[in-house]
Amino acid sequence: MSVDGPPVDRLSARMRAVGASWPPADGVAVFDGMYRRCLTAAQESVGHQRGGRRHGGQQAFTDPRCASTLDVVFAGRYLAAVDAVADGRRPPACWRPLFQYRHHPGVRPVQFALAGLNAHMGHDLALAVVDTCRLLDCGPDDLEGDFDRVGETLVLLEERIREELLPGPGLLEIVDPLTHLIGSWSPERARDAAWSAARILWELRELPVLAGEFTERMDADAGLVGRCLLTPLQQPLATKEHTNGDPARSRTAPDEAVRHRP
């Protein structure tokens, strides 16, 4: 999610290649498609907006080098989870529910997308800030403006997910449990928690044991939230974005769904 440059170009190309290898009904593909659009929007935001202020009065955009590094490191954590699964390794706990339930016929597209966003914001974002601070030899406060840009982009992505992937009003009675489920998660709270976690981890950088324990707990907590967001609902529904208009793609074979249960 950043300015032009070779690292970002390579990252975008890699994400396009990864997403192209999955069928549209794959739950990870649902998140991946929305996230790639988020990357494009963030690139445009850096290119066209140089002003703006945070609630604390700081500039919303800082050194483009910081923006590029944070964005690449952040998105790289998602790709690292993808690589882990492809290689037969265990991804972080926050990502496991999405990969385990990716073919479950009772999970809706909006659930897949929000579960991926939860993992990325609830675990990856804080760690990306700390990693970027180490790479650039700076502190979290130096990245606060760019963190806000990334966070705002993710909040807008969540709004787009709800608008495009929630079933229409005619299905209200069926999706009422879904409305209740996804209403329990807030991207604003996830963003604020990620900023607090990043600052805590930075203060713990000389205490690796405590930092490791804090990171493990953050990972586990995000995984628990993701598992709740992916609660299978009784009647699988097809949406245009999830199936490309093909109802046959709205569900997988029962034996395949069972194989992907945790």
Are 202 and 140 within 8 A, CB to CB? yes
Which whole-number Å values give the CA distances from 213 to 29, 73, 164, 197, in the listed order? 31, 22, 38, 12
pLDDT in tens, 36-53: 888 776 666 655 544 443
Q: What is the pLDDT of residues 150-190, one digit of tens each?
A: 999 999 999 999 989 887 665 555 557 888 888 899 999 99
Domain residue ranges in the chain: 6-233+253-259
pLDDT of residue 47: 56
- If DSSP codes are grouped into helix, strand and coil, which group holds residue 91? coil
SS (H, E, C) 207-225: CHHHHHHHHHHHHHHHHHH
pLDDT of residue 121: 98
pLDDT number for residue 234 = 60
For residue 232, what pLDDT is reported?
Answer: 93
pLDDT digits (tens, 9 = 90+) for 47-70: 554 444 343 434 444 555 666 789
Is residue 239 over pLDDT 50?
no
